[in-house]
Copies of this chain bind each other. A is one copy, B any other.
Amino acid sequence: MADKAKKLGTDAYKGVRDFFPEEMAVEKSIFDIWRTTSEKFGYEEYNASVLEPAELYKAKSGEEIVNEQTYTFTDRGDREVTLRPEMTPTAARMVAARKRELTFPLRWYSIPNLFRYEQPQRGRVREHWQLNVDIFGVDSINAEIEVINVAYDITRAYGLKDNAFEIRLNNRKVMNYVTGEVFGMDEVMAQKVAKIIDKKDKMKPDAFEIGIREIFGISAIMDNAQREALEKQADKLLTLLNSKNFEEFVSRLPQTKEEHVGLKEIREVIKGLERLGITNVRFDQTLMRGFDYYTGIVFEVYDMNPINRRSVFGGGRYDDLLALFGNDKVTAVGFGAGDVIARDLMETYGTLPANRPPAEIAICIVGEQNAPYALDVAQSLRVKGTKVAVDLTSKKLGDQISNADKRGISKVIVIGDEETKTGKLKCKQLKTGEVTDIDNAS
């Protein structure tokens, strides 16, 4: 059977990860934080298959993204099927499917694996695991406050203190107001502005300014008056985008009798979070968040570590997504948090749990003839709830004990002829040498 001439490779598929027990233990501790925190807020876990009809992603993302950045293939029944690249469309599909039977509001969370077809690099894998937290059916800003509270608690559970991270807030309603009403842009131009703002962090200040001027159509060959008018507009936008804080931003907007609803919402969220003791919150007029289904508040958790400032995770309100399924409106707020950055942060902050030993007691066997009795003893300890691993190697006793020690198992019971005969066992603590008697005579 072993055709060594054509031996199989042992590598995982490109860009995905194997989780050996020690790596799986890390994943489990991350999932544990996600589950415990979400459930404290009354969120319930759901799941779905990693396979979804491809059309689910085409509606919002356009064909291009589906083809270039997702795993999409045709099955033998000629169905186009995609390995889900994000969970929100699945959640929306499920809610739409049972909208009549479900009792709203829904608090849902899930820990799916997601696939993206991209070049693997540090922090960017083709498959990652992600917590998704969503609340459906709450119109008020309290949904945002609660969901950001969950995000905050998770970040704290990773080990970050308040001064190590920031919660950044923006509102799509404000951006729409600015581009549409304040600057009178059409949708195409507004889109271009949104896209370049989304990239601002990764651009040099000069390049950003030039980009904005280009979008306004400023060119060297236009007449001076026209040029000056456009430059004035561009400068006004650049000044607005460079506002240092919320109040400065607001002061640079046209003053109206009543404040715009998008601005009011930002105030309310900041105030609501403050009330909960969450004060590391900052308005960020340049925060866009990629997905174009957001309709209101968007936010992200931002790592302030000076050597690696970066977005940790984020989300926002998406009130119109369910309408794609022909349903009445179902409002929604949610976020997603990935496992790769969670692990990275927990390593940085030393919050990864110590390796848990595979068992509490190791049973060592001296003499193959005593194996049946050893299995018997193990089973009666398990019935009492103890995790017991029996050494089935037939190695020398010393090797068996050092193997238990190496695996972090703290207690050992040795079973030889005497123990099998009498049922009188000794359980030894490897660290202290302390011995406890156990009577297993039956």
Contact = CB atoms under 8 A, between A and B. Distances in A.
B24 A46 contact: yes
Interface string A305-339: 00000000000000010011110000000000000
Given A13-B53, A392-B142, A117 B76 contact: yes
A40 B388 contact: yes
Contacts of A279: none
A162 interface: no
A94 interface: yes
A143 interface: yes
A9 interface: yes
A163 interface: no
A326 B56 contact: no
Contacts of A115: 51
Contacts of A21: 44-46, 108
A20 interface: yes
Interface of A is mostly: mixed
Given A71-B75, A392-B138, A407-B103, A7 B358 contact: no
A50 to B, nearest CB: 6
A372 B272 contact: yes
A410 to B, nearest CB: 13
A96 interface: yes
Given A8-B324, A56-B8, A127-B49, A13 B81 contact: yes
A10 interface: yes
Given A140-B392, A375-B145, A46 B20 contact: yes
A3 interface: yes
Given A2-B324, A14-B77, A55-B9, A140 B46 contact: no
Given A47-B24, A275-B375, A107 B3 contact: no
A146 B390 contact: yes
Contacts of A209: none
Interface string A7-29: 11111111011111100110110
Given A11-B97, A149-B379, A271-B372, 20 more contacts: A7-B324, A7-B325, A8-B93, A12-B49, A13-B52, A14-B79, A17-B49, A21-B45, A21-B46, A25-B45, A39-B387, A42-B358, A42-B390, A51-B83, A73-B73, A103-B403, A135-B392, A138-B392, A140-B394, A146-B375
